Amino acid sequence: MVKGPYSHGKTKAEVAGELRVYLVRINRRRSRFRCAEQRYLQEVRRHVVDAVTSGINIEEAAAAAGYTPKTIARWVAKRSLEARGLPLERAQERLVRIGERRRRMSQTELKISARARASVRRAMEVGLSAREFADITGYTTKTVDRWFESALQALEQAARQREVAQARRGKRRRPPQHLSPAERAEWLAQRERRRAAVMQKNGFRVKPVRSPVVGLGVGEVARLPKTPWKKTSKPGRKRKRK
């Protein structure tokens, strides 16, 4: 198993070096997989053409083997003269095995690309460009650019969510106790303006908050709301009305 770089207690340059080594290993693993896939594909073509020659139609062979009918029709057109007939049951068993092998290989390919894509955010943190990432891993520049753009959007969304969460938590913050009634009212008004600005910037509807202090005269005592964690009624079974 290819192990990824860890940044605990290391400088950015050290993490960047380890990340490059990790991406090179991913590229080697991908190259070995693609070579094995090409070798196996030659055997698959021969078996699929034999199955079609044995009497299985192209659509059925495509559904069993996991390839498109257009691809199998192209294989049959090129290799029909080299094909040999097989018993129908044996040809169907071969197609089922080919389909299972193709699904396993697709899962392996997805795992390799998932490891490469999971390293995009770390590459952005250490300053690795998308062009260098593509050169090391062997993926196309278009694919890597799409990965970088997706990671950047995820980071921006996470930052917006943190900002909104901080604004919502700020709604529950209480002003310092040493403030005068006028200073307390100003403090609450500023808090509400900051919260409204953050919520509007991120596309949320702002609900006005009634402050218990705003509108009070000098010397008046504000009636604070009840604590939200206290229950309004006693627990127990409620009687049904007849």
pLDDT in tens, 15-30: 888 999 999 999 999 9
In order, the DSSP letters of the chain are -PPPP--TT--HHHHHHHHHHHHHHHHHHHHHHHHHHHHHHHHHHHHHHHHHHTT--HHHHHHHHTS-HHHHHHHHHHHGGG-----HHHHHHHHHHHHHHHHHHHHHHHHHHHHHHHTHHHHHHHT--HHHHHHHH---HHHHHHHHHHHHHHHHHHHHHHHHHHHHHHHTPPPPTT--HHHHHHHHHHHHHHHHHHHHHTTPPPPP---SSTT--TTPPP-PPPPTTS-SS--SPPPPP-
For residues 186 and 85, state if they share a domain.
no
Lowest-confidence region among 6-15, 72-81, 84-93 = 6-15
For residues 124 and 50, state if they share a domain.
yes
For residues 22 and 130, state if they share a domain.
yes
- Say whether pLDDT at 146 is over 70: yes
For residues 135 and 175, state if they share a domain.
no
Does 51 fall in a domain? Answer: yes
Express each pLDDT in 174-229 by its tens digit.
Answer: 777 788 888 888 888 888 888 788 777 777 776 665 555 444 444 444 555 555 44
For range 144-172, the mean pLDDT: 82
Q: Which residue has the higher pLDDT, 121 or 191?
A: 121
Q: What's the pLDDT at 185?
A: 86
Express each pLDDT in 62-80 by its tens digit.
Answer: 888 888 889 888 888 887 7
For range 41-68, the mean pLDDT: 85
27-to-2, 5, 24, 104 alpha-carbon distances in Å: 11, 15, 5, 19
Q: What is the number of structural domains in the chain?
A: 2
For range 110-123, the mean pLDDT: 92
| Highest-scoring range by mean pLDDT, 106-120, 151-165, 188-202 | 106-120
- Say whether pLDDT at 81 is over 60: yes
- Say whether pLDDT at 155 is over 60: yes
Does 236 fall in a domain? Answer: no
For residues 126 and 198, state if they share a domain.
no
Q: Which domain holds residue 44?
A: 12-139
Q: What's the pLDDT at 173?
A: 67
Average pLDDT, the chain: 79
